[in-house]
Amino acid sequence: MGFFADSLNRIQPSATIAVSTKARQLKAQGRDIISLSAGEPDFDTPQNIKDAAKRALDEGKTKYTDVDGIPELKAAICAKFKRDNELDYKPSQVSVGTGGKQVLYNALLATLNPGDEVIMPAPCWVSYADIVLLGGGTPVFAETRAEDGYRLKPDVLDSAITPRTKWFVFNAPSNPTGAAYSRDDLKKLTDVLMQPKNSHVWVLTDDMYEHLLYDGLKFFTPAQVEPRLYDRTLTMNGLSKAYCMTGWRLGYAAGPEPLIKAMCKLQSQSTSNPSSITQWAAVEALNGPQDFIAENNAKFVERRDLVVSMLNQAKGLSCPKPEGAFYVYPSCAGAIGKTTPKGVVIKSDEDFVTALLEEEGVAVVHGAAFAGSPAFRISYAASTDNLKEACTRIQRFCGNLR
Same fold, 6-44+292-399 and 63-287: no
What pLDDT is stored for residue 84 in this prediction?
98
Domains of the chain: which residue ranges? 6-44+292-399, 63-287
CB neighbour list of residue 55: distance below 8 Å, 6 or more residues apart: 280
Average pLDDT of each block of 10 consecutive residues along the chain (402 residues)? 86 80 87 92 97 98 98 98 98 98 98 97 96 96 96 98 98 97 98 98 98 97 98 98 97 98 98 98 98 97 98 97 97 98 96 94 95 97 97 98 96
Write down the pLDDT at residue 380.
Answer: 98
Determine phi and psi for 374, rounding to 5 degrees: -90, 115
Q: Read out DSSP for 118-178?
A: EEEEES--HHHHHHHHHTT-EEEEEE--GGGTTPPPHHHHHHH--TTEEEEEEESS-TTT-
Query: Is residue 376 within 8 Å of residue 332, measured between CB atoms?
Result: yes
- pLDDT score for 15: 77
For the structural domain made of 63-287, what CATH number should be given?
3.40.640.10
Q: Which DSSP letter does residue 195 get?
A: S
The predicted structure's pLDDT at residue 7: 87
User: CATH for 6-44+292-399?
Assistant: 3.90.1150.10
- Residue 54 has a pLDDT of 98
Residue 70 vs residues 247, 258, 377: alpha-carbon distances, Å: 20, 19, 36
> Torsion-angle region of residue 50: left (phi > 0), alpha (psi -120 to 50) or beta?
alpha
